[in-house]
Chains A and B, each alone.
Chain A
Amino acid sequence: MEIILLFLPLLASIISGFFGRYIGDRVSEIVTSLFVSISAILSIIIFYKVISVNYVNNIIIAEWINSGSLSVNWSIQIDTLSSVMLVVVTLISALVHIYSIGYMSHDSHKPRFMSYLSLFTFSMLVLVTSDNFLQLFFGWEGVGLCSYFLIGFWFKKEAANAAAIKAFLVNRVGDFGLALGIFLIFYLFGTVNYIDVFQQTPQLLNHEILFLGIRINSIDLICILLFIGAMGKSAQIFLHTWLPDAMEGPTPVSALIHAATMVTAGVFLVVRCSPIFEYSQLTLNLIIIVGTSTAFFAATVALVQNDIKKIIAYSTCSQLGYMFFAVGVGAYNVAMFHLFTHAFFKALLFLGAGSVIHSFNDQQDINKMGGVWNKLPYTWVLMVIGTLALTGFPFLSGFYSKDAIIEYAYLHTSGLGYYAAGVGILTAMLTAIYSWRLIFKTFHGSYNNGDLNIDKIHESPLVMLLPLVILAAGSLFSGFLFKDMFIEINLTQKFWGESIKFLTPLSTDHPPMWFILATPVIVTLAIPFSYYLFIKNKEILNNLIDLNRPLYDFLVRKWYFDELYDFIFIKTSKKIGLFFWKIIDIKFIDRFGPDGISNLIKYFSLKASKFQSGFIYQYAFMMLLGFSILLTFLILY
Chain B
Amino acid sequence: MNFPILTSIILLPSLGALFLLFLKNDFSNDYKSSKYISIFVTFLNFLISLYIWYLFDTSNPDFQFVEEREWLKGFVNYKIGIDGISILFILLTTFITPLCIISVINTTKERLKEFLIAILIMESLMIGAFCSLDLVIFYLFFEGGLIPMFLIIGIWGGARRVYSAFKFFLFTLFGSILMLVAIISIYWLNGTTDIVKLYELSIDSKYQNLLWLAFFSSFAVKTPMWPVHTWLPDAHVEAPTAGSVLLAAILLKMAGYGFIRFSIGLFPVASDFFTPLIYILSLIAIIYTSLVALMQEDMKKLIAYSSVAHMGFVTLGIFTNTTHGLEGSIIQMISHGLVSAALFFCVGVVYDRVHSRIISTYGGLVSMMPKYAVLFMIFTLAAVGLPGTSGFVGEFLILLGTFHDNFLVATIASIGIILAAAYMLWLYKRVIFGKLVNKELLKIKDLKNFELIILIFLAIPTLLFGFYPEPLFNTIESSIKSLLEMYNYNLSLNINN
Which residues of A pack against B, CB within 8 Å?
A: 62-70, 134, 137-138, 141-142, 145, 148, 152, 155-156, 158, 161, 164-165, 168-169, 172-173, 175-176, 179-180, 183-184, 186-187, 209-212, 573-574, 576-578, 580-581, 584-586, 589-590, 593-594, 597-598
Q: Roughly how many angstroms separate A138 CA and B408 CA in the complex, as a whole number?
A: 24
Complex partner residue of B468 from A64, A589, A597, CB under 8 angstroms: A64
Residues of B within 8 A of A164 (CB): 429
Complex partner residue of B324 from A67, A142, A152, A212, CB under 8 angstroms: A67
Residues of A within 8 A of B228 (CB): 593
Q: Roughly how many angstroms separate A578 CA and B296 CA in the complex, as a whole number?
A: 9
Q: Which of B151-159, B248-256, B341-349, B386-394 lies at the interface with chain A?
A: B386-394
**What total count of A-B pairs have CB within 8 Å?**
136
**396-448 of chain B: CB within 8 A of chain A:** 396-397, 399-400, 403-404, 407-408, 410-411, 414-415, 417-419, 421-422, 425-426, 429, 432-435
CB pair B295 A577 closer than 8 Å: yes
Residues of A within 8 A of B295 (CB): 574, 577-578, 581
In the complex, the 4 A-B pairs of residues with the closest C-beta atoms, listed nearest first: A68-B323, A577-B291, A183-B403, A577-B295
Residues of B within 8 A of A210 (CB): 407
CB pair B167 A594 closer than 8 Å: yes
B110 CB within 8 Å of chain A: no
CB pair A67 B327 closer than 8 Å: yes
Do A141 and B288 contact each other (CB < 8 Å), given the known contacts A64-B467, A65-B469, A585-B230?
no
Complex partner residue of B425 from A66, A168, A186, A598, CB under 8 angstroms: A168
Q: Roughly how many angstroms separate A205 CA and B324 CA in the complex, as a whole number?
A: 27
Q: Roughly how many angstroms separate A577 CA and B301 CA in the complex, as a whole number?
A: 14
Q: With both chains docked as a complex, state the minimum distance between the C-beta of A188 and any C-beta of chain B, in angstroms.
A: 11
Q: Roughly how many angstroms separate A68 CA and B366 CA in the complex, as a whole number?
A: 42
Quick one: closest B residue to A158, CB to CB?
B434
B170 CB within 8 Å of chain A: yes
Residues of A within 8 A of B417 (CB): 172, 175-176, 179
Q: With both chains docked as a complex, state the minimum distance between the C-beta of A250 and any C-beta of chain B, in angstroms.
A: 16
Do A594 and B387 contact each other (CB < 8 Å), given the known contacts A176-B418, A180-B414, A212-B411?
no
B294 CB within 8 Å of chain A: yes
Per DSSP, chain A at the interface is: helix
Quick one: closest A residue to B234, CB to CB?
A590
Residues of A within 8 A of B415 (CB): 176
CB pair A161 B387 closer than 8 Å: no
B227 CB within 8 Å of chain A: yes
CB pair B322 A598 closer than 8 Å: no
B231 CB within 8 Å of chain A: yes
Q: Roughly how many angstroms separate A506 CA and B323 CA in the complex, as a whole number?
A: 44
Q: How large is the interface on B (under 10, 10 to 19, 20 to 34, 35 or more residues)?
A: 35 or more
Residue with the greatest number of chain B CB neighbours at <10 A, chosen from A155, A168, A173, A574: A155
Additional A-B contact list (18), CB under 8 Å, known A168-B425, A180-B410, A211-B407: A62-B468, A65-B396, A67-B328, A141-B387, A155-B366, A156-B364, A161-B433, A165-B425, A165-B429, A172-B418, A179-B417, A183-B403, A209-B407, A578-B295, A581-B295, A584-B288, A586-B230, A589-B227
Complex partner residue of A581 from B292, B327, B393, B414, CB under 8 angstroms: B292
Q: Roughly how many angstroms separate A69 CA and B231 CA in the complex, as a whole number?
A: 39
CB pair B421 A180 closer than 8 Å: no
Residues of B within 8 A of A597 (CB): 170
Quick one: closest B residue to A138, CB to CB?
B387
B473 CB within 8 Å of chain A: yes
27 A–B contacts from the bound complex (CB under 8 Å): A62-B468, A64-B468, A64-B469, A65-B397, A67-B473, A68-B322, A138-B387, A141-B388, A141-B392, A152-B433, A165-B426, A169-B421, A172-B421, A176-B417, A183-B399, A209-B407, A210-B407, A576-B291, A577-B292, A581-B292, A581-B295, A581-B296, A584-B288, A585-B230, A589-B227, A589-B230, A593-B227
Q: Roughly how many angstroms separate A155 CA and B432 CA in the complex, as a whole number?
A: 9
B70 CB within 8 Å of chain A: no
**117-168 of chain B: CB within 8 A of chain A:** 166-167
Residues of A within 8 A of B387 (CB): 134, 137-138, 141-142
Q: Roughly how many angstroms separate A176 CA and B396 CA in the complex, as a whole number?
A: 11
Q: Roughly how many angstroms separate A183 CA and B324 CA in the complex, as a whole number?
A: 12
Residues of B within 8 A of A168 (CB): 421, 425
Residues of A within 8 A of B364 (CB): 155-156
Do A67 and B397 contact each other (CB < 8 Å), given the known contacts A169-B422, A187-B403, A594-B230?
yes
* 1/0 contact string of B456-489 vs chain A (CB within 8 Å): 0000000000011110010000000000000000
Q: Roughly how many angstroms separate A413 CA and B395 CA in the complex, as a whole number?
A: 45
Quick one: closest A residue to B226, CB to CB?
A589
Q: Roughly how many angstroms separate A597 CA and B328 CA in the complex, as a whole number?
A: 37
